[in-house]
Structures are given as C-alpha cells and as structure tokens.
Structure 1
C-alpha cells in the first residue's frame, strides 16, 4: 500500500490567494521570468566582456538555463513594453503584475483562477484588455 506524503506546513502568513498576504515581501519589487532572464544574461555578458572569471557556478547556470526555457518573452523591447503596460495598472500589486507577465493567461477567468487576488481589483473587461495586449506583444516577437 502506497503511503501518501503529508504536505509540509508553510510557516508564516504568506499566501497568494484571494487576498495577498506576502508578509515581509509585500510591496517588494518583483520581476517576471522574462525580466529576470534579461538581468541574469546582462550580468553574465558584462562579466564575459570584461574578461572576469565566471564565479557563478552551477546554480546560476541552472537558473540561466531555466529562464531561457521558461521566459515567455525574449525580445528586450517587448519585455520593456509589457513591463510599462503592467506598471500602468497601479491598482495591481507588483506580485500580481509580475505573475501576469509570466503566466500569459488567455482569459480574465484563467488569470483570476491562477491569481485569485485579482478578483476584486480589476474588471474582467479591463483585465482581458491587458491580457490581449500582452498576447499581442508575445506574438509580435
């Protein structure tokens, strides 16, 4: 008989649910995976250009590989346009904006299912307009 493993209890008050409870991370600037990919790539490229030894090791290499695969946007111009579009929605928390830029949801319903805290912050119509703009930029690459 297989034993079910109990899920570890999460300490603290952090939860991305209907009401964001991010504890000490509330209002901390966040990035989408695409933005993080740009930052990591720029640091590594700069080190290479300056002929500095690469002390990043296995962890940073794995992170770079992960971001290269899962970052939805590769074009720097589009990433900046999406960031500006998302940042113009000041009603949204930085965490919500970075999640929208990472998840690239197709519908307002999908976005509100994956990011429940959006439910009472933005209308379905406004959210769909935002998602449509993100999708347009995604397929313009």
Structure 2
C-alpha cells in the first residue's frame, strides 16, 4: 500500500510561545485574529456570568482569582454602564484600519491625546491620522463615567 495521495493528518506547528510583540509592528502569533475585549467589556461579560450563576444557584463559591480579577476590572474599566461600553465598541469597530488588538488597547487605555496613544500603542503610527485618533479619543471621553 502506498501513502501517496493522502492529505497530511498532522496540524501545522504553532510558533513558539514568547515570540509575540506589540511594538511598531504587531507580532501576535496565534493571537493574531483572536477577538479581543476592552477591560470594560470584560467586566460586563464576567459580571453577567457571575450574576447568572448566582441566579441559577450554580457555582456560588467565588475563587480568589475571580475576586482579584473583578477588583482589577472595577478599578481599571473606564466605562461602567452597558450602554456606554456598547457605544465605545461601535466607535472603535468603525475603524477597520485598526486591528482588533489595537482597538481593544485604545478602548482600555483611554488616552487623553493622540500622541500619548501612539506612544503607548506604537503600531498605530501609520494606520490612523492624529486628527482622526484624537476625534475618536474625544468621542470616547464623552462616554466615560
């Protein structure tokens, strides 16, 4: 019997971990096209899940890691109301020139200026003008709690 003509059954080997880099050129490895959440979106999702579990009387024991995550999100999520989180997501998703990662970073960092934003997220440098970025940041600031 010959093995010729059969498709390979092995998966391609993923790049080694630790090769990811978020600098002027994004190298996100296996996370390249993964959906990302802002801290505010993550807070909404986790709180909704906990609320549902408590309502259904499931998993009433909160772990220390979960409590620390909630404390972190409470401290750093800039948008607390669901309507504002959704409005920010709409503003960010309108910028198709940006990667999902970049949009999530902008939505989490909530910088005051385009210059600050491009310093913290160097891959934005040639993707969006300072004026367009500043307009986005200003629109987001109006929604902050």
What TM-score, normalized by structure 2, do the two folds share? 0.85
Query: 1:125 aligns to what?
Result: 131
| Alignment-derived partner of residue 63 in structure 1 | 69
Distance in 1 (CA, whole Å) between partners of 2:28 and 2:76 is: 24
More helix by share: 1
Residue segments in structure 1 that go unaligned for 5+ positions in a row: 1-10
Q: Distance in 2 between matches of 1:130 and 1:53?
A: 40
**Aligned equivalents of 1:127 and 1:78: distance in 2?**
19
What residue ranges of structure 2 are gaps of 5+ in the alignment? 1-16
2:115 matches 1:109: yes
2: CA distance, partners of 1:12 / 1:69: 28
Deviation larger for 90-99 or 56-65: 56-65
The superposition leaves residues 57-86 of structure 1 with CA deviations (integer Å, 9 ceiling, x where unpaired) of: 111111111111111110100000000110
Measure the CA separation in 2 of the matches of 1:134 and 1:56: 33
Q: 1:134 aligns with which of 132, 140, 145?
A: 140
Question: Superposition pairs for residues 74-113 of structure 1, below 5 Å?
Answer: 74-113=80-119
Following TM superposition, by how much is the alpha carbon of 1:106 offset from its aligned partner in structure 2, in angstroms? 0.7
- Aligned mate of 2:34, from 23, 28, 39: 28
Distance (Å, rounded) in 1 between the aligned partners of 2:131 and 2:58: 50
Shift of 1:56: 4.1
Q: TM-score, length-normalised on structure 1?
A: 0.88
Task: Give how far 1:53 is off.
Answer: 3.0
Structure having the higher Rg: 2
Q: Which residue of 2 aligns with 1:37?
A: 43
How well do the aligned residues superpose, as a CA RMSD in angstroms? 1.4
User: For residue 79 of structure 2, what is the aligned residue in structure 1?
Assistant: 73
